[in-house]
């Protein structure tokens, strides 16, 4: 059985990373706005998740947001475009860590289920 | 799969209720309710910004964001564009048609509704209480909340003895909260999970004073199953009849008081010794603990004690610790009231000391190791 709630939240977490990397390579303003929006939605989706690594997941999401929002300020005020790209790369790293945590979480859950079944 | 070896205690596989986690869960539930409305607000804002960027060019991203925000929030100071006014107004109108219901009516209003209706303050208060409760040690567990235990708790507070109140009647919650006790749990005290949740494993004792003997019995038995050692964990209870008092003692209570007969005995003692305003009041206050500034305690003298073989006046107890030996109970059980200073202390004697609590503590130290004082 596919857990559709999980598909929904995982979708946005992956999309946060992909849109972020898209901006790093394209330097496109539209891409940046989309990246910020998707990252914020991914943050909200991590609210109130009763998981083992919930705190770490939420922390990585906040890190990504706090990289991308200053990046947008620098980018649209037309100075330090380079710095904006740098910040976006930082946000991408946070998003990659978030996905690694997500995989670790899945493994933990699998172990827990095994223990409960045995 | 490697299996962890679990240390199962003798009372079975019951897990303590984690009261802090219950309130944490409530907080997460509120955050969970905010998910969808917040997502909607973010989505509409992002969409609006992109829309106005497409119309006015990507360099107007900040203007687009501004225009979207003041549109969704229905503030609307000014328009966020100066060129292509007709086209922008047309697109704005279309945008408002779905952004207003989605972003404002559903998103923002729902967020406000969840935040105002969720009594976050209450949840935080309980969460904080149970968080602090996790550090409590050597406390007493008191159950239930009634006239008898209210007296006990008022006194415990005065003496700064930590306690956790367990009451199963949910309707008394507001009254208990008003009393301002440090720690209380609204749950059934005869459940092992609840007693474990009240940290019975490191408690000093339990006081149960239900009106019904059966309730007291079930609490006593449950507590004694978890803490079988009578010398390390005291259980005090009330009973209505001699028979049930006896049963409670057999099942694990250290002391059982029958309120009716205790009151009767006290009245008889008043009749026989009409209270003189000074003396008997003074003694009553010490005996019943109404005065917290005077205490009476017994100190057993072992063979190794340095005061064995010395006269009472030569140990200079009063001079060094400001306490008085009011009586000495000899090893045979005979009591010597107001002993003379020439009395030679023997092994096995018990000294009854009267004084301020802090001085009595000092005297205890003095009698084991005089250099410390």
The full set of domain ranges for chain B reads 19-118, 136-257, 293-372
Residue B351 is encoded by which pair of tokens? 């000294």
Q: Do A37 and B61 touch (CB under 8 A)?
A: no
Q: Give how far the C-alpha of residue B214 lies from the chain's centroid of Cα atoms, to the nearest Å.
A: 25
Highest-confidence segment of A84-88, B5-9, B282-286, B347-351:
A84-88
β partners of residue B235: B206
If one counts every other C-beta atom within 10 angstroms of the C-beta of residue B128, the result is: 12
Q: Give how far the C-alpha of residue B366 lies from the chain's centroid of Cα atoms, to the nearest Å.
A: 34
Per-residue pLDDT tens over the stretch B277-314:
666 666 666 666 555 677 778 888 887 788 888 888 88
Question: What does the DSSP 8-state code read for residue B275?
Answer: P
Per-residue pLDDT tens over the stretch B141-195:
998 898 889 988 988 888 888 999 999 888 988 888 888 888 999 988 888 889 8
Average pLDDT, chain B: 84
How far away is chain A from the Cα of B19, in angstroms, using its nearest Cα? 16
Give φ, ψ of B186 to 5 degrees: -100, 100
If one counts every other C-beta atom within 10 angstroms of the C-beta of residue B64, the result is: 25
Ordered DSSP codes for A2-33: --HHHHHHHHHHHHHHHHHHHHHHH--HHHHH
A118 interface with B at CB cutoff 8 Å: yes
Per the model's pLDDT, the better-predicted residue between B117 and A1 turns out to be B117
Which residue of chain A is at minimal alpha-carbon distance from B50? A30
Residue B97 has pLDDT above 80, yes or no: yes
Could you tell me what percent of chain B has a pLDDT over 70? 91
Per-residue pLDDT tens over the stretch A56-101:
888 999 999 999 999 999 898 877 888 999 999 999 999 999 999 9
How far away is chain A from the Cα of B296, in angstroms, using its nearest Cα? 53
Task: Write down the residue that tokens 């964001």 correspond to.
Answer: B65
Kindly give the residue spans of alpha helices, DSSP state H, lying in B100-160. 109-117, 120-133, 147-158
Residue A112 has pLDDT above 90, yes or no: no
Instruction: Return the minimum-mean-pLDDT range out of A67-76, B268-277, B330-339.
Output: B268-277
Q: How far apart are CA B293 and CA B289, in angstroms?
A: 9
Q: Do B1 and A33 touch (CB under 8 A)?
A: no
Residue B5 has pLDDT above 60, yes or no: no
Helix (H) or strand (E) holding B163: strand B163-167
Residue B264 is encoded by which pair of tokens? 């009767």
Which residue of chain B is at minimal alpha-carbon distance from A113? B1
Choose the mutation target among A44, A62, A79 for the interface with B, i.e. most B CBs under 10 Å.
Answer: A44
Q: How far apart are CA B53 and CA B61, in angstroms?
A: 5
Mean pLDDT of B325-353: 83
- CATH pick for B293-372 out of 1.10.8.60, 3.20.19.10, 3.30.70.1450, 3.60.20.10: 3.30.70.1450
A44 interface with B at CB cutoff 8 Å: yes
Residue B1 has pLDDT above 50, yes or no: no
Residue B241 has pLDDT above 80, yes or no: yes
ipTM of the prediction = 0.89
Domain B136-257: homologous superfamily in CATH: NAD(P)-binding Rossmann-like Domain (3.40.50.720)
Task: Write down the residue that tokens 């010597």 correspond to.
Answer: B336
Task: Write down the residue that tokens 């380079």 correspond to.
Answer: A82
Contacts of A47 in chain B (CB under 8 A): 28, 31-32, 34-35, 38
Q: How far apart are CA B248 and CA B260, in angstroms?
A: 17
Q: Do B42 and A41 touch (CB under 8 A)?
A: yes
How far away is chain A from the Cα of B121, in angstroms, using its nearest Cα? 18
- Find out whether the peptide bond into A37 is cis, omega within 30 degrees of 0: no
Q: Do B1 and A37 touch (CB under 8 A)?
A: no
Residues in contact with A55: Cβ distance below 8 Å, sequence separation at least 6, in sequence order? none
């Amino acid at each position: 059985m596919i857990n559709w709630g999980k598909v929904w939240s995982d979708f946005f977490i992956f999309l946060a990373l992909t849109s972020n990397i898209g901006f790093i390579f394209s330097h496109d303003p539209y891409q940046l706005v989309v990246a910020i929006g998707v990252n914020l939605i991914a943050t909200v989706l991590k609210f109130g998740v009763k998981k083992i690594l919930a705190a770490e997941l939420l922390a990585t999401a906040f890190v990504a947001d706090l990289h991308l929002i200053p990046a947008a300020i620098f980018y649209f005020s037309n100075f330090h475009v380079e710095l904006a790209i740098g910040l976006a790369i930082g946000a991408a790293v946070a998003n990659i860590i978030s996905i690694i945590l997500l995989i670790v979480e899945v493994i933990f859950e699998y172990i827990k289920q095994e223990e409960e079944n045995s | 799969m490697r299996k962890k070896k679990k240390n199962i205690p003798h009372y079975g596989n019951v897990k303590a209720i984690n009261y802090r986690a219950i309130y944490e869960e409530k907080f997460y539930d509120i955050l969970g309710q905010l998910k969808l409305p917040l997502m909607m607000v973010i989505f509409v804002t992002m969409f609006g910004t992109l829309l106005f960027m497409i119309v006015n060019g990507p360099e107007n991203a900040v203007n687009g964001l501004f225009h979207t925000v003041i549109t969704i929030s229905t503030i609307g100071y000014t328009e966020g564009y100066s060129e292509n006014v007709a086209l922008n107004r047309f697109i704005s109108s279309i945008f408002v048609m779905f952004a207003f219901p989605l972003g404002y009516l559903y998103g923002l209003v729902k967020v406000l509704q969840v935040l105002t209706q969720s009594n976050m303050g209450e949840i935080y208060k309980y969460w904080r209480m149970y968080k602090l409760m996790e550090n409590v040690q050597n406390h007493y567990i008191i159950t239930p909340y009634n006239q008898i235990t209210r007296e006990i708790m008022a006194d415990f507070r005065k003496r700064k003895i930590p306690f956790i109140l367990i009451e199963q009647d949910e309707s008394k919650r507001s009254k208990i909260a008003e009393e301002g006790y440090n720690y209380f749990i609204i749950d059934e005290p005869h459940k092992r999970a609840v007693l474990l949740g009240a940290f019975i494993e490191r408690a000093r004792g339990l006081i149960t004073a239900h009106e019904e003997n059966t309730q007291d019995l079930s609490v006593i038995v449950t507590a004694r199953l978890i803490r079988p050692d009578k010398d390390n964990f005291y259980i005090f209870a009330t009973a209505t009849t001699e028979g049930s008092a006896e049963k409670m003692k057999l099942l694990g209570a250290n002391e059982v008081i029958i309120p009716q007969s205790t009151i009767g005995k006290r009245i008889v003692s008043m009749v026989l010794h009409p209270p003189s305003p000074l003396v008997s009041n003074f003694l009553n206050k010490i005996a019943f603990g109404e005065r917290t500034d005077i205490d009476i305690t017994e100190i057993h003298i072992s063979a190794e004690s340095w005061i064995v073989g010395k006269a009472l006046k030569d140990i200079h107890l009063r001079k060094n610790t400001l306490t008085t030996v009011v009586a000495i109970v000899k090893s045979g059980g005979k009591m010597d009231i107001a002993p003379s200073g020439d009395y030679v202390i023997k092994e096995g004697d018990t000294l009854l000391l009267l004084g301020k609590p802090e001085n009595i503590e000092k005297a205890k130290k003095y009698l084991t190791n005089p250099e410390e004082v």
